Structure 1
């Protein structure tokens, strides 16, 4: 709905005022996870463990989905699995492999790594709560999956055709928040000022994407309480799928935050995989195909609105005209708020 490392010298654990016996302990922890960018070890230390974790999660989810006849349980795994993988890479792995405490593992992270982990957690927790509450309120499976379940032998092939393939996709999407905790060094040579600027840009991008997701879900929920037609106002007046656009911007922000600490080009595959999945597999393409089928059969008014909406509004990326709308500025304001919050939190952590 994701092991400590040596960060940039300006944001390392030592620069955060660590002294006494804790400093040497953290220095002893971190070198064991060093790996030069491009080493074949990145496959062993990052991607393969993620595939193993997600495959186990997917298998368990498939068993629960088959018994309850609710395919949508895999949607519960999408955000929760990413958060779990990020915390395992950042905290769980050094605790398990080196026997350090939670506090030592947390303190060993640079500020940018803590920020990245916090952003992943905030995004995943909110999305999981949204998906779970909507699912429980509905009381049945997501309409997008009803047609698929009617196909002969669906449950016999679903594990290999749907659940495990998504586990592989999630492993790639998670690279921006697994690689920085299992590798060290950077392919970039940037000044401290530039790094601070890049980190602020990542925070702003996260704020914009996160804000758009929250606004989209909130406005849609309020609209459905009052009306039965399509929601086409607010951020839904910027693009037809603002929630998917927000999700894309959030995942791009994870890669941007990598640049501010320990950047490996492989992390760029994460937002690219997420974008490709949302655009061409399980996002707006699947959603609109399901809407078109259901509305054409049961709700001619909505079907007509959908056809007109497609002519007037872009599906995923806003046009230049849409960027001048008030709600576009409101979303941009979320980015500014995120930068202010990031600066405040960093100052607070530096003082501790």
Structure 2
């Protein structure tokens, strides 16, 4: 196994793209038959979890005939953190997307304009579903490369590695907590009121759920530094950021909101315009760092670091 581009392509990118493109075919068929583009969103978190588990556990079991327990015990602590992190994040997000989809009973309004385009479903697989499979293949690099590439380009002291691990765990805990709080607060708000949710973590930025997702994927990058690191993993959080900012995240969401609110809900449209002048879309402004909710998110990160340290110490003692 080489660590160059050819090695990465054969060991990680091509298998990942093969998995995601196959799942995308199934998602496309289901989406076309139900006229619901949002089914592709079900694949986004679940596909990453499946890919990580296949690369870390499934492939060794298939290729060497080892048992599940032996494959799990063969993972380092950092690899278990990576696998556990992507599993917790992806499983929660998948449950959130599916439950919201079933409760709504129709397609996500963000995709209505796309479906109105002539011949949309004839080209949707190549214009929408397959490109997302490509993005996923790159985004997944931090949770697949460590399980398929056995070497590292770094030589760091134990104290440095422990510090980086703590930063990664703290960043994951903060990002995950931010996503959970954003979704929970938005759900509660919608049950009580019909205006925009601008309180809680939504007072930090206009899209705290996307910010939380970005922090989670950055944490996977940091955890790579502590064991099996290859520079190609930098592409993972970068691709995730590009997608969330400019392809299928806050830009797409606000474009849909602006169009719908302007046509159907003038007060909400005016709220959106005012909100844009008060809060950033994705990254908090300096003034927002003193917001009590920013301290709450940071506190969750600190708790995550403490819990991980306690669990790791107990496992080491055993």
Q: TM (normalized to structure 2)?
A: 0.99
Partner of residue 238, structure 2: 272
RMSD (CA atoms)? 0.8
Partner of residue 19, structure 2: 53
Corresponding residue to 1:227 among 186, 193, 197: 193
Alpha-carbon distance in 2 for matches of 1:123, 1:82: 10
Alpha-carbon distance in 1 for matches of 2:153, 2:310: 29
Corresponding residue to 1:286 among 225, 243, 252: 252
Alpha-carbon distance in 1 for matches of 2:143, 2:296: 28
Alpha-carbon distance in 1 for matches of 2:144, 2:176: 20
Describe the superposition over 1:295-337 as per-residue Cα deviations: whole angstroms up to 9, x where unpaired. 0000000000000001111000001100001000000001001
Alpha-carbon distance in 1 for matches of 2:270, 2:246: 23
Partner of residue 159, structure 1: 125
Partner of residue 147, structure 2: 181
Q: Are the equivalent residues in 2 in contact too, given 1:55–1:164 (CA < 8 A)?
A: yes
Matched residue SS, 1:349: helix
Corresponding residue to 2:166 among 170, 188, 200: 200
Describe the superposition over 1:100-132 as per-residue Cα deviations: whole angstroms up to 9, x where unpaired. 000111000000000010000000001001000
Flag the structure with larger Rg.
1
Partner of residue 284, structure 2: 318
Partner of residue 213, structure 2: 247
Q: TM (normalized to structure 1)?
A: 0.89
Partner of residue 116, structure 1: 82
Q: 4+ residue runs of structure 1 moved beyond 2 angstroms?
A: 35-39, 347-352
Where does the alignment leave 5 or more consecutive residues of structure 1 unmatched? 1-34
Alpha-carbon distance in 1 for matches of 2:276, 2:220: 31
Alpha-carbon distance in 1 for matches of 2:2, 2:130: 30
Partner of residue 116, structure 2: 150
Give the C-alpha shift of residue 344 in structure 1.
2.0
Partner of residue 13, structure 1: none
Give the C-alpha shift of residue 349 in structure 1.
2.5
Alpha-carbon distance in 1 for matches of 2:3, 2:307: 31
Alpha-carbon distance in 1 for matches of 2:293, 2:126: 42
Aligned length: 318
Where does the alignment leave 5 or more consecutive residues of structure 2 unmatched? none
Alpha-carbon distance in 2 for matches of 1:39, 1:325: 44
Matched residue SS, 2:286: coil
Corresponding residue to 2:307 among 311, 328, 341: 341
> 5 Å matches for 1:30-41?
35-38=1-4, 40-41=6-7
Give the C-alpha shift of residue 39 in structure 1.
5.2
Q: Are the equivalent residues in 2 in contact too, given 1:36–1:184 (CA < 8 A)?
A: no
Deviates more, 1:63-72 or 1:341-350: 341-350
Alpha-carbon distance in 2 for matches of 1:337, 1:63: 43
Corresponding residue to 2:267 among 287, 294, 301: 301
